[in-house]
Amino acid sequence: MERLVLIALIGSVTAMQMRSVRQEYAVLIGGATAAFLLADTLIRVTGLSDVFLRACGEYGVPSALPGTVLKILGIAYLTEFGVNVSKDAGQHAVAGTLEIGGKLLMLSCSLPAVVSLLETGAALIREAAP
């Protein structure tokens, strides 16, 4: 955690210093710092997601459903990161497009879950009804 805070501080201070000299470098340094922080955090979380997926498998939950939860989480964080970097660079149109892309991707990811939810619900009611 200390390493993350240190990198974030160094990146922010450098980008701030660069802003007065070369604006485009400041954007690049900010983006690189954010990308590094995100990648470092994701590497640490991978172990947790593996445990979660294994536990779901042991319990008999089809791996597609917990996998979808992780995908949604990943898409949401990556899109948010991309949108923030684009906004920092003053590219609001790109940020808007990325946001729409993220939403569509999340929709396409959760559609099988919706189908599975409705199917399981219908199967349960069929099972209970005489």
Partner 1 sequence: MRNLLLLSLALFIPFLFLENSEEAQDGVDALLKTVDLSEWDDLFRELDVDGTEKPSDYLHEIAQMRGQPFSTSVGKLQEQLLPSVRPAVIRTVLLLGIAVFGAALNGLSDDSAIGENARTAFRITASGIVLVMAFMEIRTALHMLTTIDRVTEILLPAITGFLMLSGMTNTAALLPASYMLLSELVMKTITSCIAPLAVTGGVMLVLDAGSTGKLASAGRVLHRAAKWILATACSLYMVITTIRSVASASADGLLIRTTKIAAGSIPAIGSLLTESVDVAFQCLHFVRSALGLTGCLVLLLAVLKPLLSTIMTCCSFRASAMLAEPLSGKQYADLLRGMGDTLHILMLCGSSATAMALLMIAPVFGSVGGV
Place of tokens 């802003």: 19
How far is residue 59 CA from its own chain's centroid?
Answer: 26
Instruction: Report how far residue 116's alpha carbon sits from residue 36's, in angstroms, rounded to the nearest whole number.
Output: 36
Question: Are the C-beta atoms of 29 and 37 separated by less than 8 Å?
Answer: no
**What is the nearest approach in angstroms of partner 1 to the Cβ of residue 27?**
19
The piece of 6-14, 23-31, 32-40, 111-119 that touches partner 1 (CB under 8 A) is 111-119
Least distance CB 46 / partner 1 (angstroms): 13
Q: Does 127 bind partner 1 (CB under 8 A)?
A: yes
CA 110 to CA 2: how far, in whole Å?
A: 36
Report the interface residues with partner 1, using CB under 8 A.
51-52, 55-56, 58-62, 65-66, 68-70, 72-73, 75-77, 79-80, 83, 99, 102-103, 106-107, 109-110, 113-114, 116-118, 120-121, 123-125, 127-130
